Amino acid sequence: PGTSEEVAPPLQQNFMIPKKEINMVSDMAKWKRSQAYADYMGFILTLNEGVRGKKLTCEYKVSEVGEGLQSCPQDAEALCVLAGWEIKQVTSGEKLPIEKLVALLNTLDRWIDETPPVDQPSRFGNKAFRTWYAKLDQEAEKLVATVIPKHLADAAPEVAVYLKESVGNSTRIDYGTGHEAAFAAFLCCLCKIGVLRVDDQMAIVFKVFNRYLEVMRKLQKTYRMEPAGSQGVWGLDDFQFLPFIWGSSQLIDHPNLEPRHFVDEKVVNENHKDFMFLECILFITEMKTGPFAEHSNQLWNISAVPSWSKVNQGLIRMYKAE
C-alpha cells in the first residue's frame, strides 16, 4: 500500500474550554466584529461554494490524510521542512478523518437505539433523551479523541464542548439552529487544527454534515424534541438552517428544478436523495400536517423566488441576520 505524508505543526498550540460569551443582544455586535465570527462565516461560505451545483450522490475525492492532518504535497515538501513542519509517513490503512467522523456519528445513532423512549404523560420532550445525552456528556472527549491525532490530544476537551452543544439541550429537551451552528463550529475547529482539509468541502457537507442531520432527525423523532427558539410559522424551519443554504447552492443552475418545484410532492419524492434542500422539505412534510403554505410560510414564499442563486443569497443574508 502507498503512504501519505503527515505534517505536524511546529508551534505549541494552546487550547481552552469554550465558555458562553453572548449573553444579551448587545453582545452580538462584539461577536460580529470578532475573528471567530469571520472564521465561522468564512467556513460556511467556503462550503457553500464547494457544493455548488453538486448532487449528494456525486463522486468526489477525499484527501488521503494520515491521522487527519493536512498533507504536504511532494513539490512543497522542501517548503514544509523549511517552515519547521515535521513530516511523517503514515500507512494508507489508517482511516480517513471523514470516515472517523461518520463512525462517531454512527455511535451516537446506535445509542439512540439503545435508549428507547420512556412512558410518560407528556407527549413532547421524552425524558429518555437525558439518559442518551448523559452518555454523550460522559464519552464526548473519548469520541473526539478517536478523530484527532495523538499530538493534538490536548484539543479534545475544547473541541468536545462543541460536539456536546450540537445535539440539543438536555434540560429543555429541545433542539434548534443554535445547536446546528455548534456542529458547524465543531467542524470548523477540526479544520483550524488541521484534522480536516477545507479542500474536502463536498465530503464535509455530503458525508459528515448529512450524516449529522440524519442522526438529529432521528433524535427529534424518537424523543419528540421541542424546537428551540422557534419563530413558529414565520421561521424558516423549526430545527435546521444550514442545509437550506447548502442545499440551495447544490441546485444553482439545475437544468430542470426551479424553486417553484420544491412544493411539488412528486418532485421532492423523486429528487430528495440528491439534494439536501429537498430532503429538508420531505422531513417537514413527514412531521407536519396541513397545507404547506400554512405550516411553512417562509419556505412557501421562497418558492416564488425566480432562481436558486437568489434563494441562496437571500438565505445567507437571513442567516447572518438571525
Residue located via cell numbers 448523559:
134
Q: What is the pLDDT of residues 268-292, one digit of tens each?
A: 999 999 999 999 999 999 999 999 9
135 and 250 belong to one structural domain = no
Above 50 in pLDDT, residue 105?
yes
3-state secondary structure of 227: strand
Residues contacting 266, CB < 8 A, separation 6+: none
More confident residue, 88 or 110: 110
Residue 64: what pLDDT? 61
Confirm if 15 and 157 have CB atoms less than 8 A apart: yes
Residue 79: what pLDDT? 31
Report if residue 275 sits inside a domain: yes
113 and 186 belong to one structural domain = yes
Report if residue 177 sits inside a domain: yes
108 and 196 belong to one structural domain = yes
DSSP code, position 273: T
More confident residue, 66 or 220: 220
Within a 10 A sphere around the Cβ of 221, how many other Cβ atoms? 14
More confident residue, 110 or 124: 110
Parent domain of 106: 34-56+95-205+222-229
Residue 77: what pLDDT? 34
241 and 183 belong to one structural domain = no
303 and 244 belong to one structural domain = yes
45 and 173 belong to one structural domain = yes
State the pTM of this model. Answer: 0.86
Report if residue 29 sits inside a domain: no
113 and 151 belong to one structural domain = yes
189 and 102 belong to one structural domain = yes
Of residues 69, 50, 73, 70, the one with CA closest to residue 60: 50
Q: Which of 229, 263, 294 is the last residue of a domain?
A: 229
168 and 268 belong to one structural domain = no
Above 70 in pLDDT, residue 198?
yes
Report if residue 190 sits inside a domain: yes
167 and 48 belong to one structural domain = yes
The C-alpha atoms of residue 298 and residue 241 are separated, in whole angstroms, by 12
User: Which of 116-125, 216-225, 227-236 comes out lowest in average pLDDT?
Assistant: 227-236
Looking up residue 280, the CATH number of its domain turns out to be 1.20.120.1150
Indicate the angle between helix axes 35-50 and 177-192, nearest 10 degrees.
90
Report if residue 210 sits inside a domain: no
43 and 174 belong to one structural domain = yes
Please give the tally of structural domains in the chain.
2
Report if residue 117 sits inside a domain: yes
In degrees to the nearest 10, what's the CA dihedral of 218, 319, 301, 281? -20
Q: What is the pLDDT of residues 152-196, one digit of tens each?
A: 999 999 999 999 999 999 999 999 999 999 999 999 999 999 999
- Mean of pLDDT over the chain: 86
Of residues 210, 227, 257, 235, the one with CA closest to residue 51: 210
49 and 161 belong to one structural domain = yes
